[in-house]
């Protein structure tokens, strides 16, 4: 198969941008609905301990899950888009692939399934923290917990695993070709593997959103900007390491003010 004409740029920026905005809108809608359905009172300094909040009901847990699913997908969509469009170009050039668009859809679905599973785990963690009364009035974790999350996320920025995942998302063509599977189930499985690599870039950044509160727009914007900068700048290794140093310093300050 000739690889001429196959590049690794995400392409179709309009469709990608609309999908990203739709995911953000869904996540924001779920957040406001969840916030309206639950009330967590902030505890003043020196006041007697507040009783534990009422356990979340099934509908509220579903809203929480929808919110985290939207946030996870919005954060990881830019990282995965290059792989999806490269997969489509490769599938169209392989004579054995009869339905390239369908196969690409299965590939993308594999990514979404992986992210949805991670969002379910974050939902369970958020649910447990809420019912244990460990969240403040904005549904954010206390400062020591956020500081610990920042230190962990910053340390992850320096690891070889982080940079391997980042390199895969920046240049997905070799991964698509090496891991190519002929069947439709193989396309789904390959998409799940690509989604796992994207998750490796961003999973601790998602947990930072849990620590800062999912309704904190400035914090989400900073995390999303960092993820985009790591993908777009030429020296992604240096960018990730600098961001990691900043996060470790910030987290240490919150842990030991």
Q: Is pLDDT of 87 > 80?
A: yes
Q: Is pLDDT of 151 > 70?
A: yes
CA–CA gap between residue 5 and residue 8 (Å, rounded): 10
Gyration radius from the chain CA atoms: 20
Q: Give the pTM.
A: 0.80
Q: Is pLDDT of 177 > 70?
A: yes
87 vs 51: which has the higher pLDDT: 87
Q: What is the DSSP string of 218-249?
A: HHHHHHHHHHHHHHHSS-HHHHHHHHHHHHHH
Q: What distances in angstroms separate CA 123 from CA 61, 118, 131, 197, 247, one per listed residue? A: 8, 9, 12, 21, 24
Mean pLDDT for the chain?
Answer: 79
Q: Is pLDDT of 39 > 80?
A: no
In this prediction, what percent of the chain has a pLDDT beyond 70?
A: 77
Looking at residue 252, its pLDDT comes to: 93
Instruction: List the single range of 46-60, 78-92, 178-192 with lowest mean pLDDT.
Output: 46-60
Looking at residue 32, its pLDDT comes to: 57
Looking at residue 36, its pLDDT comes to: 56
CA–CA gap between residue 89 and residue 173 (Å, rounded): 10
Tell me the per-residue pLDDT of 114-150, one tens digit each, with 9 for 90 and over: 889 999 999 999 889 888 888 876 677 877 888 898 9
In this prediction, what percent of the chain has a pLDDT beyond 90?
A: 19
Q: Is pLDDT of 249 > 50?
A: yes
Q: Is pLDDT of 165 > 80?
A: yes
Task: Count the neighbouring beta carbons within 10 Å of the beta carbon of residue 68.
Answer: 28
Give me the residue label for tokens 């070799």: 174
List phi, psi (to 5°) of 113: -65, -40
Torsion sign across C-alpha atoms 198, 199, 200, 205: positive
Q: Is pLDDT of 2 > 50?
A: no
């Amino acid at each position: 198969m000739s690889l001429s004409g196959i590049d690794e740029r995400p392409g179709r920026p309009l469709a990608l941008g609309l999908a990203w905005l739709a995911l953000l809108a869904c996540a924001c809608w779920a957040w406001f609905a969840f916030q309206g359905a639950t009330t967590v009172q902030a505890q003043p300094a020196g006041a007697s301990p507040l009783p534990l909040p009422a356990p979340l009901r099934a509908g509220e847990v579903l809203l929480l899950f929808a919110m985290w699913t939207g946030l996870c997908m919005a954060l990881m969509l830019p990282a995965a888009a290059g792989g999806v469009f490269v997969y489509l170009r490769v599938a169209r050039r392989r004579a054995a692939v009869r339905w390239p668009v369908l196969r690409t859809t299965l590939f993308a679905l594999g990514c979404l399934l992986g992210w949805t599973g991670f969002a379910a785990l974050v939902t369970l963690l958020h649910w447990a923290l809420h019912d244990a009364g460990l969240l403040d009035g904005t549904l954010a974790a206390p400062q020591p917990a956020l500081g610990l999350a920042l230190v962990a996320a910053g340390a992850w920025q320096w690891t070889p695993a982080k940079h391997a995942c980042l390199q895969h998302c920046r240049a997905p063509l070799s991964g698509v070709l090496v891991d190519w599977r002929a069947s439709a189930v193989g396309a789904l499985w390959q998409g799940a593997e690509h989604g796992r690599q994207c998750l490796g870039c961003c999973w601790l950044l998602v947990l930072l959103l849990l620590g800062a509160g999912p309704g904190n727009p400035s914090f989400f914007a900073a995390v999303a900007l960092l993820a985009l900068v790591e993908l777009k700048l030429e020296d992604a290794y240096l960018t990730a390491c600098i961001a990691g140093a900043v996060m470790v310093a910030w987290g240490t300050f919150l842990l030991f003010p």
